[in-house]
């Protein structure tokens, strides 16, 4: 964790791509990584044929599979325990400890377990509610009132780990209306991994209803004033992101078993960067607002650090 934190501190000290008041996509400090999940091993645990799987509650099966795996069962028990523990009469729980335990779970448990728990497809209310409760939202997600989305966003920007995870999410879940997958990177697995990477942070997302595509941070863009567009651009990264929605649906129906490798991306020039700044009012769903400013490799930091545990330094919001 210290190595990741120190590396990210160096990265952001030399890599300033965000201009104050302009919602420009920041560079991700993580190297591209093609994630391939061990679905065969998971299938052997949950058992049943492909036809049978579609007729059962996959969210329940995912919980059973996690209980069979020692690491998954232990870390899941740890975060649930932290997130349901009452602190006092006035405080329902310790959100900071809950977030820390959640991050540890999603960073250390293999994605074939965590993704089944979080993205399992549902056809009934009971299943959808089990899925929504995965991150114990009463502690990790919800609060008495929804803050303006710019508040948790600013908190995230103030912490280099959260900032880096958010940049990684934007990069790997970058939507494209020209792509058949809806994703610029053509990699659903990387998008889902980046999404789980921000759970347990100030901008933690979760399901808002029974729909698989309805995810959002716990915030609103009401009372945004002259920053309304900036607020909506952030919120739409979750609520109107065709890449993220397609990635979740593809996981549910099994069409992402062989994710496409990341295609080479050409770095943008300073002239293109300036054009982005001049056109900061473009809506978030348009592809050109997501033009990626590619970082130079300041360290040999591998993409795999996104699955390291948060055991020493907290992320703001958790």
Closest CA to 294 of 28, 8, 24: 28
Q: How far apart are CA 154 and CA 163, in angstroms?
A: 9
Per the prediction, the chain carries an average pLDDT of 76
| Beta strand extents in 76-235 (DSSP E only) | 205-207, 215-217
Q: How far apart are CA 56 and CA 115, in angstroms?
A: 17
Look at the chain and count its residues.
318
pLDDT tens column, 113-145 = 999 999 999 988 989 999 999 999 999 999 999
The answer on pLDDT for 269 being more than 50 is no
216 strand-pairing partners: 206
Q: How far apart are CA 304 and CA 310, in angstroms?
A: 14
The answer on pLDDT for 230 being more than 90 is yes
The answer on pLDDT for 263 being more than 50 is no
Identify which has the larger pLDDT, 43 or 317.
Answer: 317
pLDDT tens column, 194-208 = 999 999 999 999 999
pLDDT tens column, 151-191 = 999 999 999 999 999 999 999 999 999 999 999 999 999 99
Q: What is the largest CA-CA distance in the chain?
A: 57
Identify which has the larger pLDDT, 305 or 237.
Answer: 237
State phi, psi for 150 to the nearest 5 degrees.
Answer: -70, -25
Whole-model pTM: value is 0.71
Q: How far apart are CA 300 and CA 222, in angstroms?
A: 42
* Most confident by average pLDDT, 88-92, 246-250, 286-290, 311-315: 246-250
% pLDDT > 70, the chain: 63
- Weakest mean pLDDT among 27-36, 197-206, 254-263: 254-263
pLDDT tens column, 49-89 = 344 444 568 899 999 999 999 999 999 999 999 999 988 87
The pLDDT value given to residue 254: 82
DSSP letter for each residue of 180-198:
SSSBSS--HHHHHHHHHHT
Cβ count near 17 (within 10 Å): 15
3-state secondary structure of 103: helix
Distances (CA, A) of 133 to 59, 102, 130, 138, 275: 11, 13, 5, 8, 43
| First vs last C-alpha separation in the chain | 15
Helix, strand, coil percent values for the chain (each to nearest 5): 50, 5, 45
The pLDDT value given to residue 5: 60
Closest CA to 187 of 36, 85, 24, 19: 36
Dig out the tokens for 310 from the structure.
């948060």
Closest CA to 276 of 26, 31, 30: 26
């Amino acid at each position: 964790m210290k190595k990741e934190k120190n590396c990210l501190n160096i990265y952001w000290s030399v890599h300033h791509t965000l201009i104050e008041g302009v919602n420009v996509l920041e560079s991700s400090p993580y190297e591209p990584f093609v994630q391939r999940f061990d679905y065969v091993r998971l299938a052997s645990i949950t058992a049943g044929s492909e036809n049978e799987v579609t007729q059962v509650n996959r969210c329940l099966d995912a919980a059973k599979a996690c209980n069979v795996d020692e690491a998954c069962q232990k870390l899941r028990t740890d975060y649930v325990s932290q997130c349901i523990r009452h602190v006092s009469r006035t405080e329902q729980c310790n959100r900071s400890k809950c977030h820390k335990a959640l991050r540890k779970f999603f960073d250390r448990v293999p994605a074939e377990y965590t993704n089944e728990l979080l993205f399992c497809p549902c056809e009934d209310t009971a299943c959808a509610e089990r899925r929504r409760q995965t991150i114990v939202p009463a502690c990790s997600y919800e609060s008495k009132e929804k803050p303006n989305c710019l508040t948790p966003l600013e908190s995230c920007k103030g912490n280099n780990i959260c900032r880096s995870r958010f940049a990684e999410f934007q990069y790997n879940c970058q939507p494209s209306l020209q792509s058949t997958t809806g994703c610029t990177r053509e990699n659903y697995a990387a998008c889902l991994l980046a999404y789980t990477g921000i759970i347990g942070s100030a901008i933690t997302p979760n399901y808002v209803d029974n729909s698989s595509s309805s995810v959002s941070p716990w915030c609103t863009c009401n009372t945004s004033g002259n920053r309304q567009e900036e607020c909506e651009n952030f919120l739409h990264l979750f609520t109107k992101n065709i890449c993220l929605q397609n990635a979740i649906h593809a996981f549910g129906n099994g069409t992402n078993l062989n994710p496409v490798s990341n295609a080479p991306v050409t770095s943008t020039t300073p002239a293109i960067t300036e054009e982005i700044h001049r056109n900061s009012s473009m809506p978030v769903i348009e592809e050109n607002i997501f033009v990626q400013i590619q970082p130079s490799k300041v360290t040999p930091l591998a993409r795999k650090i996104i699955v390291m545990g948060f055991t020493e330094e907290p992320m703001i919001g958790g």
